[in-house]
């Protein structure tokens, strides 16, 4: 299970100038994701708008009388799986209100993530962010 914080991911990406190294790092991050069960690879958990298959599972948990959301996910594409790990680190463990306030696309653009993705993968990244924020709004 991934325990890498978003700040750690951001810092590590800032040290990697070469995009081949950044891609390798994303692939490594994807490998740290907690596996999802086969029955969680359902149509309800599948993210539409992604060329690759992506599944996001949303769970609510209570922490000190505050409802927080936890996300788990997977993809059939290694780089996309790494992007899922980045988004989980960014959003997981926060309240719906906190998630709604996160300007995720701006943050990801500051990291330069979308500029080096194919347009299809960049669109898929936006679809994943929209899905997470939709889940938060309806939590």
Spatial distance between the Cα atoms of 122 and 117, rounded to a whole number of angstroms = 6
**pLDDT at residue 1, rounded to an integer:** 47
Q: Write the pLDDT tens digit of every residue in 16-53.
A: 989 899 999 999 999 999 999 999 999 999 999 888 99
Query: Would you call 60 helix, strand, or coil by DSSP?
Result: strand
In this structure, the dihedral spanned by the alpha carbons of residues 118, 100, 12 and 86, taken in order and rounded to 10 degrees, is -50
Q: Residue 2: pLDDT above 80? A: no
Chain-centroid distance, C-alpha 30: 10
Whether 122 contacts 88, CB under 8 Å: no
The answer as to CATH 1.20.810.10 being correct for domain 6-137 is no
Position of tokens 């949303």?
58
Q: What is the three-class DSSP state of 53?
A: coil
What are 59-96's pLDDT values in tens digits? 999 888 889 999 999 999 999 999 999 999 999 999 99
Helix (H, G, I), strand (E, B) or coil at 121: helix
pLDDT tens column, 89-136: 999 999 999 999 999 999 999 998 888 888 899 999 999 999 999 999
- Extract the tokens encoding 126: 């936006």
- What is the per-residue pLDDT for 55? 98
Q: Which structure tokens are listed for 3?
A: 């325990």
CB-CB neighbours of 101 under 10 Å: 11
Kindly report the number of other CB atoms within 10 A of residue 46's CB atom: 13
Catalytic entry in 9, 50, 84, 129: 50
Residue 38 appears among annotated catalytic residues? no
* Single pTM value for the model: 0.94
Q: What is the pLDDT of residue 65?
A: 82
Closest CA to 84 of 120, 39, 32, 37: 32
């Amino acid at each position: 299970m991934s325990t890498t914080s978003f700040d750690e991911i951001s810092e590590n990406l800032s040290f990697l100038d070469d995009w081949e190294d950044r891609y390798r790092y994303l692939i490594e991050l994807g490998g740290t994701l907690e596996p999802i069960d086969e029955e969680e690879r359902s149509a309800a958990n599948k993210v539409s708008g992604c060329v690759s298959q992506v599944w996001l599972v949303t769970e609510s948990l209570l922490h000190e009388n505050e409802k927080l959301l936890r996300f788990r996910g997977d993809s059939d594409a290694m780089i996309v799986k790494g992007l899922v790990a980045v988004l989980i680190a960014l959003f997981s463990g926060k309240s719906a209100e906190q998630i709604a306030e996160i300007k995720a696309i701006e943050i990801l653009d500051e990291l330069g993530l979308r500029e080096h993705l194919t347009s299809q993968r960049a669109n898929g990244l936006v679809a994943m962010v929209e899905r997470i924020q939709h889940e938060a709004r309806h939590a």
